[in-house]
């Protein structure tokens, strides 16, 4: 059986940092309030002239460098994002040209915070059936562009960034399995209510585009759902919780991360946490956390990683990886 394997990781964060102390100056909130409820103390924010494509470009370069591949070695690019540069062409297509890749398939995937895992699942299947040899998979967001800075419940949560991996075909197991799901029943709990065909509200700032979230309800569904997908993923691979070396979760809220870590009976030092410094970077959060733990030496070759995420839609997904 042919597998796909991660051979390189990369990430990029915008230079501008917005701390909780900075937010206190123009939002009715406090550092203590934010930390106690989310675990976040700062987040990165794109510059006015910076786009999601810019972030993805830098992360992709670093992933390809780590994988020791050239643009001509890539024959598929999939980008998970909720905040593309423009409606069309896709940001992946713009990135394909910018990176100097051959005329290969390039697409965006919108699954909110689960976007990277959806993209990874697609690329993994593409390689397994033999339609691609090597793929560039990215999660990138300029999610603060959707933030209503007057809404203290949501504006403190989000940050911008990008993470990327290069995967290639392998005769040895790398990506052991991926699992993706969605349930539109809960769409009203997290999302936006404007768009191209639904229409924009021209009289409002940003045409009325802003993130709307019912935090307590989202928290409850997220914890239950991520618990179930942990069981599903381990069962699909005939593994026990003790077989997992690292949990690399979506970085939305420290309490949700802790609940998932307890489900796996993993000590805190085996759960990769970046939410305190990055905030919720949506589709970028899992690959950002993965790259950080690879580059600082925590994650070693041969270890088993559980990647998981939950996002608006609702969408959720996981990947079990032997790194």
By annotation, the residues acting in catalysis are: 113, 250, 280
Asked if 301 contacts 287 with a C-beta cutoff of 8 angstroms, the reply is: no
Locate 19 and state its tokens: 């701390």
Q: Helices 254-263 and 215-236, interaxial angle, to 10°?
A: 30
- Which candidate, 308, 257, 247, places its Cα nearest to that of 279? 257
Pairwise CA distance, residues 295 & 44, whole Å: 19
Kind and range of the H or E run holding 177: strand 175-182
**Strand, helix or coil for residue 214:** coil
Work out the number of other CB atoms within 10 angstroms of the CB of residue 176. 18
Helices (H), 237-299: 254-263, 275-278, 285-295
The one-character DSSP state at 195 is: B
Pairing mode, strands 105-109 and 161-170? unpaired
């Amino acid at each position: 059986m042919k597998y796909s394997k991660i051979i390189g990781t990369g990430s990029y964060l915008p230079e501008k940092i917005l701390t909780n102390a900075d937010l206190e100056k123009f939002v009715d909130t406090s550092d203590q309030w934010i930390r106690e409820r989310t675990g976040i103390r700062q987040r990165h924010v794109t510059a006015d002239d910076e786009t999601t494509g810019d972030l993805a470009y830098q992360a992709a370069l670093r992933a390809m460098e780590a994988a020791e591949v050239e643009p001509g070695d890539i024959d598929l690019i999939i980008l998970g994002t909720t905040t593309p540069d423009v409606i069309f062409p896709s940001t992946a297509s713009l990135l394909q040209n910018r990176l100097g890749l051959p005329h290969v398939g390039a697409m965006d995937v919108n699954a909110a915070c689960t976007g990277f895992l959806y993209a990874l699942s697609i690329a993994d299947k593409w390689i397994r059936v033999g339609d691609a040899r090597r793929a560039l998979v990215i999660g990138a967001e300029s999610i603060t562009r959707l933030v209503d800075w007057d809404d203290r419940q949501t504006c403190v949560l989000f940050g911008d960034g990008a993470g990327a991996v290069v995967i290639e075909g392998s005769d040895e197991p790398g990506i052991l399995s991926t699992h993706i799901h969605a349930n539109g029943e809960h769409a009203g709990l997290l999302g936006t209510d404007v768009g191209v065909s639904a229409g924009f509200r021209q009289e409002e700032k940003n045409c009325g585009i802003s993130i709307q979230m019912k935090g307590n309800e989202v928290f409850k569904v997220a914890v239950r759902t991520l618990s179930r997908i942990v069981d599903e993923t381990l069962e699909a691979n005939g593994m026990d919780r003790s077989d997992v070396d690292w949990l690399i979760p979506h970085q939305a809220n420290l309490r949700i991360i802790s609940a998932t870590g307890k489900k796996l009976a993993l000590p805190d030092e085996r759960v990769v946490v970046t939410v305190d410094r990055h905030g919720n970077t949506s589709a970028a959060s899992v690959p950002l956390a993965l790259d950080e733990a690879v580059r600082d030496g925590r994650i070693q070759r041969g270890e088993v990683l559980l990647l998981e995420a939950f996002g608006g839609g609702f969408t959720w997904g996981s990947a079990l990886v032997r790194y």
